């Protein structure tokens, strides 16, 4: 699908923060000043190690979490200031595929009830719901016989397909995929990824694909956002990021991708990340990666780096970039 980057972004995230109070004087800054855009029809990958705030950011975009501060604009409208009717429309346009297919489906509901729940809320008749659910199950590689079954009767891959059918039931424009394949076998992962690609081409969907598997993100995404400990450290097109990473954390991440070719694997130098991850509770206002970065200077420990566009579309938040013209 061709993406028009000159058009208004479908999703605009501006200085988004989500904090959790975990003690009387302790604040966990899960997402801290994150900004990015997503254009209609594209897939944006959001990557980083576990605990960096990827899923929290995704949940803020769909209002499962209310942002502490900052703005999330969908189609030009602030999602925290929608009228009752606009909220209803927003829920139809934006859906989420959850990470765990074993926990995200109600074990007491049949597949027909799970997939058709959104349609029921829209006031559809039972005949309309049955026809639509049958069509959706066919779209995701299941069949009519599965409608009367319960989630425990399916494999992990089949459950994730049911989750995808549920997300598609209200004809959304934008889907947040929160590590949708991480709990699946490798052979099933490829099937689900190919299906997501086909659905995007056929339905004109826009994706935010949250993952920690960098090879998957490279395959699926036009642009990639790299997060570390609640902050965005680098943003670029997929091709640019993988061929020319600039932030020390991104370089270390990419060096950890397994290489099937023995000659290439030997040529690639693995960059180990030393030291412990800093605590996200009451973090100091400085570079969050400084304590683990071999290039860190005194400034890195005392000042938060600003995001800078080094080349067109390639944005990096690192003090080392000050020397790059």
Which residues make Cβ contacts (< 8 Å) with residue 189, sequence separation at least 6?
181, 216
User: Side-chain half-sphere of 41: how many Cα atoms within 13 Å?
Assistant: 11
DSSP state of 9: P
**In angstroms, rounded to a whole number, what is the distance separating the alpha carbons of residues 79 and 261?**
46
Note whether residue 137 is domain-resident.
no
Domains held by the chain: number: 1
CB 153 within 8 A of CB 145: no
Grouped pLDDT means (10 residues each) for the chain, 325 residues: 84 96 92 95 93 94 94 94 91 91 91 93 90 91 91 90 91 92 78 87 93 84 95 95 93 79 66 82 92 91 93 93 68
CA distances from 275 to 148, 267, 293 (A): 52, 25, 9
**In angstroms, rounded to a whole number, what is the distance separating the alpha carbons of residues 302 and 318?**
13
Note whether residue 118 is domain-resident.
no
Task: Pull the structure tokens for residue 126.
Answer: 């039972």
pLDDT of residue 263: 65
Distance of CA 78 to the CA centre of its chain: 20
Residue 192's domain comprises: 11-108+150-323
Note whether residue 272 is domain-resident.
yes
Residue 16: give its domain's CATH number.
Answer: 3.40.50.300
Note whether residue 144 is domain-resident.
no
Note whether residue 278 is domain-resident.
yes
Helices 186-203 and 156-168, packing angle to 10 deg:
20
Note whether residue 133 is domain-resident.
no
pLDDT of residue 264: 63
**In angstroms, rounded to a whole number, what is the distance separating the alpha carbons of residues 140 and 17?**
35
pLDDT of residue 270: 74
Helices assigned H by DSSP within 40-110: 54-61, 84-93
DSSP three-state, residue 32:
strand
CA distances from 290 to 171, 209, 248, 252, 299 (A): 44, 27, 10, 14, 9
Note whether residue 4 is domain-resident.
no
pLDDT of residue 256: 78
DSSP of 264-322: HHHHSPP----SPPPPSBS--SS-TTGGG-TT--GGGGTSPPPEEEEETTEEEE-GGGG
Task: Pull the structure tokens for residue 88.
Answer: 């209803």
CA distances from 249 to 35, 179, 200, 298 (A): 18, 21, 31, 18
User: Side-chain half-sphere of 37: how many Cα atoms within 13 Å?
Assistant: 15
**In angstroms, rounded to a whole number, what is the distance separating the alpha carbons of residues 321 and 306?**
10
Note whether residue 263 is domain-resident.
yes
């Amino acid at each position: 699908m061709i993406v028009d980057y000159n058009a208004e972004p479908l999703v605009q995230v501006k200085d988004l923060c989500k904090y959790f109070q975990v003690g009387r004087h302790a604040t966990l800054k899960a997402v801290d000043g994150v900004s990015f855009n997503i254009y209609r029809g594209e897939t944006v990958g959001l990557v980083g190690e576990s605990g960096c705030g990827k899923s929290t950011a995704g949940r803020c975009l769909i209002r499962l979490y209310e942002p502490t501060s900052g703005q999330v604009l969908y189609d030009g409208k602030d999602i925290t200031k929608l009228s009752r009717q606009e909220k209803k429309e927003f829920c139809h346009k934006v859906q989420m595929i959850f990470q765990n297919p074993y926990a995200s489906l109600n074990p007491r509901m049949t597949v027909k009830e799970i997939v058709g729940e959104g349609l029921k809320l829209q006031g559809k008749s039972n005949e309309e719901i049955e026809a639509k659910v049958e069509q959706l199950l066919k779209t995701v590689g299941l069949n009519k016989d599965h409608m009367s079954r319960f989630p425990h009767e399916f494999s992990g891959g089949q459950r994730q397909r049911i989750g995808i059918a549920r997300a598609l039931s209200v004809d959304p424009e934008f889907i947040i995929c929160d590590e949708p394949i991480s709990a699946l076998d490798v052979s099933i992962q490829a099937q689900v990824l190919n299906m997501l690609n086909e659905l995007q081409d056929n339905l004109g969907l826009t994706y935010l694909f949250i993952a920690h598997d960098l090879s998957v993100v490279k395959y699926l995404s036009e642009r990639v956002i790299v997060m570390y400990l609640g902050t965005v450290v680098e943003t670029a097109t997929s091709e640019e990021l993988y061929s020319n990473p600039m932030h020390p954390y991104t370089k270390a991440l990419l060096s950890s991708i397994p290489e099937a070719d023995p000659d290439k694997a030997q040529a690639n130098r693995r960059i180990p990340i030393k030291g412990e991850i800093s605590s996200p509770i009451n973090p100091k206002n400085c570079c969050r990666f400084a304590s683990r970065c071999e290039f860190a200077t005194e400034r890195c420990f005392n000042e938060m780096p600003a995001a800078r566009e080094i080349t067109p579309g390639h944005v990096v938040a690192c003090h080392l970039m000050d020397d790059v013209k």
